[in-house]
């Protein structure tokens, strides 16, 4: 019997902005009301439970964010490809809301399946 590890679907985007830290903190404060969120001015970790908002995914998903001087790096890891796609859209929509003065922000999601 083979015990195979679950697949992890991952995507990363480097979004150009001069306000990366501001947007990271705004998004984290917004989501801290109903998600597990850890953050400071430069980095963040947000966990989306598998059953969040009535979903039934195979596992939790995670968003890691890093704020640089000229860009915001977002890395998503999910248990299913569809979960990953939904979260990319959710992250992008929420960040655009906070960045309304320069929205739409440019996201260059690069997908990678990790086995």
**For 8-104, CATH number?**
3.30.310.50
Q: What is the DSSP letter of 52?
A: G
Cut 0.75: pTM above it = yes
* pLDDT at residue 4 is higher than 70: no
The H or E element containing residue 92 is helix 81-98
H-state helical runs in 5-106: 20-31, 81-98
**Per-residue model confidence (pLDDT) at position 47:** 98
* pLDDT tens digits, 7-54: 899 999 999 999 999 999 999 999 999 999 999 999 999 999 999 888
Domain ranges of the chain: 8-104
Q: Residue 2 pLDDT more than 60?
A: no
């Amino acid at each position: 019997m083979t015990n195979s590890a679950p697949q992890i679907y991952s995507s990363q985007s480097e979004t150009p902005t001069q306000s990366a830290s501001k947007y990271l903190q705004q998004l984290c404060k917004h989501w801290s009301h109903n998600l597990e969120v850890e953050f400071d001015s430069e980095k963040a970790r947000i966990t989306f439970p598998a059953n969040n908002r009535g979903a039934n995914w195979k596992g939790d998903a995670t968003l890691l964010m890093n704020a640089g001087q000229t860009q915001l790096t977002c890395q998503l890891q999910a248990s299913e490809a569809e979960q990953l796609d939904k979260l990319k859209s959710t992250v992008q929509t929420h960040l655009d809301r906070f960045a309304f003065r320069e929205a739409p922000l440019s996201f260059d999601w690069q997908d990678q399946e990790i086995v």
